[in-house]
Structure 1
């Protein structure tokens, strides 16, 4: 008793504190925002958002009602008035909500608590039939009775269930479903067997409600084995439900249910029964662990057996996909929180596949074809929470099962006569190969990307799910045919997607094993650094007199430009290609425009080549080491600056202005001087704008804008100067600059493993509400206000007291626990990846920064 009293006193104290907080968080207009506020030392709360929304306003009103606060209370009265004012002319409530469904529901619930309607009182005979009643009157009477949900009118519905009119019987089924009592099961059974589809639709819904009340299981099992096809179909549809029968202790036999569903899935002569049984079985598998083994066995038979009906075959495909993604699809897979029985199903199917490979060629082909179809479902779709997505392979052995199926199907295609070899089935198989992290399959896809049918090379290249699994040896025998194909596409622009694009992906994405010796490295430079000497400017081409010579020169120049632009970007993107022999080949002196374009893409990595990882906390007394590549970096800077000049090719100048926002370039004073000059002569507004973005981040300009941004924060905690501006300490300023120059670029960088960046999800509005950031623009620029918001948001994801538990450190590694979900984007880093170490260093620096300067309240956009 003492403990109970103690608990009650704690509850009362918490309720009083929460109500006080709600009163203090109420906005001036009477509403509440989503911002829960941060408590200050004086007991007040500061909030960033001042926009009232129906959802938090409604839940606040519901809380006051639950605490027994009357509607005359000033806070409640003001809140109700604001809630009513937010109602749309259509009757709905919607501000932040995308559809308004949820906020409208909250609003109706809140208002109904303070303004309840007395439930109607129906007389026992109110819905009895009257003498000489017309059909319209009968329909109205049964309809009105059905919406009461009152069990005392079951007899009315049972009488109506025998009526000649299907419309009357329809409302009888609705009424029996709404009451969901044992007394209505006989009437619902009649509806299940009705010759009218209208009635059967209502009856299977009504029977489902009755089953949820744990009534009528044996009756529905009998109906599911009736001799009439339509009756069995409706009975199976009644079993299609999301119900946990285990925790409530249902009296239903899961064993009998499994037999009924398994027989309906695999043996029933009616296609509709087989299709609906597949859907129902999937739901029962998800919600009822004891039935999973039996459903697994039935599912193996389902995928093994032939299916003559195309609609049912399609149902098998999509329901199998739904089952195979219960551990997450490609965008939200989980390796920790798993349905373990899915692994059992996958292993059983793999055993069947391997046995069929040896003993039953027809079955082997059927299984591989089915699995490939499942794997290709929702091709390239990566929905967020609740959205569809292609298979994820987090379940153990799923990768090997589906890889074997895809490889088997590819082998089958290759064995066909040449004119039938590469059709739609081959295309679907390549689509199904996407995302499967199997080394043998990835190598196969690389081979198709380079040597396969030209019209499928791009598709094969796109299906390479993880280039890290593919390693190509950078030797002339490998590179020469790829390089030749790249140039073929360059000379034939319409065929570039088939010929050149797959090769460029190989250059930019896969792991290249670079030879050890300088002699071998120099041998492959010819396939990495293109010879672009035949390029001519438009004015040089125009000066040519012979028309054929002019046409040839134009063709050569277009091809050279394409190679310079695309191969330069590919080499610049792949760190495996950033070795010393390439860097030392950087040209000395003048280059033509195409050569300039190629090397422009290499400047950024050359400036960072073999430098130590940047430190979040800089020691001002530390002497920088001697740079053995100083002369090389100087050449690279000279070329970059030359491409910003007024006499540079306009395409190169545009590209250089885009690249100038990269950290290694933005920090260089020579480039800042060149950009300042560019602003004076450049006519292209976009180029000028990008140049100004870089200049706005020079030390003086950035400090000024940062002070202005911090000044707008009500709780920045910094001292003020005589003009009322915050004084930003040097270590604080350097920490924000590190965040700007290294953390944000790292989160924006596309990883070659899955060709996605952190910002693809976290920078897209509405995609990840729990961590939504401002995404840099196409050149990597964020204005200072947005940068500071991102800084604050991520400060709140660092736990200075228990740093290893910080979400900013755990989520990228996809750390999961019983109380913590994994990262929907999967594992982004290994603990020793340079990119992760940058994030880690910044997180570690926050321990001292937050200790010295506090943590402002803002933690979202």
Structure 2
């Protein structure tokens, strides 16, 4: 085998081929399992004689690669070997100890073990010689073997491999040097010399040492500085590799001056770099530098520090780092806004490139976009949910530059300026928030659309001198010709919690929108009007809910009246004194309730769940009493849920009597709301709600479409839950429809996450309303949903559909589960 070739063509005498060295007599001393070896890349060829025979290896090029790839402390067997087959197992690994043999003496050489090592693990000279083999795969295997087992003598061969014409060999040489440098501290000088080589390919190979997993080398800043200089290398591939390495180095080394230099170099190159590969690595690398996992940092790591002073120190340190970054970003944005500005570093400096690079790095990252069809939706990266975030001091530094960007002449810049505002979210921004709201009336449709998506992110200032600016802005938006601007302004007024109640001019504008004919605007205006006591006494404003109730009573079905307008009209009628004490309104409510229409009663019960003030009405109490014993099981369960959440209702004699009449009433109220939801079906008869199977037909026809519908991020429940353990769903087939078996599996899986006793406590309802903000956070009682918030509240149609199913809704035509 020394020549690297085997000419054996058949069974050998005594079970051994002529090219295999004679095996020494087997020692009686046992060999422990820790001396096993593994052979990779080749398959041993066993001769016809399988008794005490050895194994002959085809020493072709592939088998040479396999010999080189031998690594210690591994089992010597090919993956395709049968377990415990003698012909596939090294004799030295036999676990059985010879009778009467003593313990293995490590100081005395073991002939069997030495023969095994010599045959399977070639000496260094033979491995090193293969580094110059004409076959690329052999050279690659040799480089990897040196990386595993080599020492100082292996460094020159690996360094030469950095310039190999085959990329696969080049990568393996870089990996081998990284292994020796990281584990043994060898080859640092050779890596440094390769980074400074005049040969482009050698420098390229050297950068591959820092492609990944090089944290053990992060203390060698002399190497990092060479990579910083390489950001200006003539080769775009080398500049790209330097970008990839330096953002990782930034995290692994706490040297402030080095971090500053990396950040400055990234920003500097954004104003010069034109190669698309390098620009993408510049922007994404800078994004990585700024995007820390702040949720885990503040919710877990800092929170678990024992001493308050340590927690304060950690918080100050992190936010100081962000403030320093924000100062640089603000300066770069200011320079990017001035085409005549120069940073004095290069004649190729272009302010427009700088502005584009900084805005891109703050707003875009490929892994943050889960669906190209919805680029505006940001997704999580692993357990990192948040995008870049800066805190109050940093936000104050960034706000002036962001305001200038919002007023930029380019619509594309204005749109990205709104998106960039996400980095200063949750901060008081008295200048930036109104500037974004003004873009709701921008002449460009895309800018208006973006402003409408983000306006809630930046609350308008309502205190001090800024209040007048906000009132004037809201008045302008309410008078705008753009419908989305008026809807946004009404929403902002409704969320002011009465802080604008004394603004008479604003109230008049809201009133004008409330009395107009368009249902969506009118309902939004009525909700905003509830924050103005004067409008709740104004007869013209109150005529709108009064007229809506009259229409609902006259119509055969409440579906003929816009639901949003009817809901807010009912809320005003029950809660505002001017209407609740009006005999005409009381008569209309009596007629509305007397229809005993399930959809109308459901709407009223939903109103009671949303606003408990309506429970002070005797008409509402009467409705609850009747709904508890309703023959409609879904409606009855909703009413009992309402009583459970408001125990004082049970003291009402009418409701108490209804509960007593209800077969399930007393049992439902006596069960704790947080009991386990995995109920085992019991006997028929007076079964509790937890043992009554939910309607299978309703699930197939109504619930499955909800689970298969794509959300704003382009994802659907059936895809994400295809790999879950408890609520596991079959994704839709690529061709055709679901089979009956798949639908039954989905139905049974959904039953695991429902709570018929307390439907709104069902995980299938609570999870889609939850965010991932507290996922992985210790000590929180808040429910988290890895898929993020799917529905915006209990009023979402999907929520209502599933809630109706849990409450017992059935289809007229049903299939039994």
When normalised by structure 2's length, the TM-score is 0.55
Question: What does residue 537 of structure 2 align with?
Answer: 584
Q: Cα–Cα, structure 1 residues 408 and 224, in superposed 2: closer, same or farther, change >3 Å? A: farther
Matched, 1:516 2:502: yes
CA distance in 1, matches of 2:157, 2:193: 15
SS in 1 for 2:431: helix
Question: What does residue 694 of structure 1 align with?
Answer: 642
Question: What does residue 261 of structure 1 align with?
Answer: 227
Alpha-carbon contact 1:278-1:316 (below 8 Å) kept: yes
Question: What does residue 286 of structure 1 align with?
Answer: 251
Matched, 1:391 2:388: yes
Alpha-carbon contact 1:672-1:695 (below 8 Å) kept: no
CA distance in 2, matches of 1:223, 1:503: 62
SS in 1 for 2:424: coil
Matched, 1:431 2:419: yes
SS in 2 for 1:289: coil
CA distance in 2, matches of 1:224, 1:502: 56
Alpha-carbon contact 1:507-1:571 (below 8 Å) kept: yes
CA distance in 2, matches of 1:180, 1:654: 76
Matched, 1:162 2:141: no
Q: Cα–Cα, structure 1 residues 523 and 352, in superposed 2: closer, same or farther, change >3 Å? A: closer
Q: CA RMSD for the aligned pairs?
A: 5.3
Question: What does residue 521 of structure 2 align with?
Answer: 563
State how 1:232-311 maps to structure 2 within 5 Å.
232-242=203-213, 254-265=220-231, 267-290=232-255, 292-305=256-269, 306-311=272-277
CA distance in 1, matches of 2:635, 2:297: 36
The number of aligned residues is: 548
- Structure 1, 156-165 or 692-701: larger mean CA deviation: 692-701
Deviation of 1:447 after TM superposition, in Å, equals: 0.4
Deviation of 1:118 after TM superposition, in Å, equals: 4.5
Deviation of 1:515 after TM superposition, in Å, equals: 5.8
State how 1:797-816 maps to structure 2 within 5 Å.
none
Deviation of 1:262 after TM superposition, in Å, equals: 1.0
Correspondent of 2:324 among 344, 349, 352? 344
Question: What does residue 740 of structure 1 align with?
Answer: none
CA distance in 2, matches of 1:647, 1:704: 26
SS in 2 for 1:601: helix
CA distance in 2, matches of 1:285, 1:824: 35
CA distance in 1, matches of 2:498, 2:296: 26
Deviation of 1:529 after TM superposition, in Å, equals: 2.9
Question: What does residue 600 of structure 1 align with?
Answer: 567
CA distance in 1, matches of 2:638, 2:532: 30
Please list the CA deviations of residues 327-371 of structure 1 after superposition, one character each: whole Å capped at 9, or x if unmatched.
638998985672744433332443455577676177554433222
Alpha-carbon contact 1:434-1:464 (below 8 Å) kept: no
- Give 5+ residue unaligned stretches, structure 2: 1-31, 44-55, 76-116, 303-314, 343-348, 369-375, 552-560, 651-655, 660-664, 677-687, 689-720, 727-749, 767-772, 785-817
Question: What does residue 447 of structure 2 align with?
Answer: 456
CA distance in 1, matches of 2:132, 2:394: 55
CA distance in 2, matches of 1:371, 1:175: 44
SS in 2 for 1:434: helix
Question: What does residue 99 of structure 2 align with?
Answer: none
CA distance in 1, matches of 2:254, 2:423: 28
SS in 1 for 2:282: helix
Q: Cα–Cα, structure 1 residues 230 and 688, in superposed 2: closer, same or farther, change >3 Å? A: farther
Alpha-carbon contact 1:661-1:694 (below 8 Å) kept: yes
State how 1:11-50 maps to structure 2 within 5 Å.
none
Q: Cα–Cα, structure 1 residues 705 and 655, in superposed 2: closer, same or farther, change >3 Å? A: closer
Deviation of 1:404 after TM superposition, in Å, equals: 4.5
Please list the CA deviations of residues 723-780 of structure 1 after superposition, one character each: whole Å capped at 9, or x if unmatched.
xx9xxxxxxxxxxxxxxxxxxxxxxxxxxxxxxxxxxxxxx9999x9xxxxxxx9xxx
CA distance in 2, matches of 1:822, 1:237: 46
Deviation of 1:408 after TM superposition, in Å, equals: 4.1
Question: What does residue 482 of structure 1 align with?
Answer: 477
Deviation of 1:516 after TM superposition, in Å, equals: 3.2
SS in 2 for 1:162: coil
Alpha-carbon contact 2:415-2:446 (below 8 Å) kept: no
Alpha-carbon contact 1:372-1:406 (below 8 Å) kept: no
CA distance in 1, matches of 2:583, 2:495: 28
When normalised by structure 1's length, the TM-score is 0.53
Alpha-carbon contact 1:304-1:363 (below 8 Å) kept: no
CA distance in 2, matches of 1:439, 1:581: 28
Matched, 1:526 2:511: yes
- Structure 1, 673-682 or 300-309: larger mean CA deviation: 673-682
Deviation of 1:117 after TM superposition, in Å, equals: 5.5
Question: What does residue 740 of structure 2 align with?
Answer: none
SS in 2 for 1:468: coil
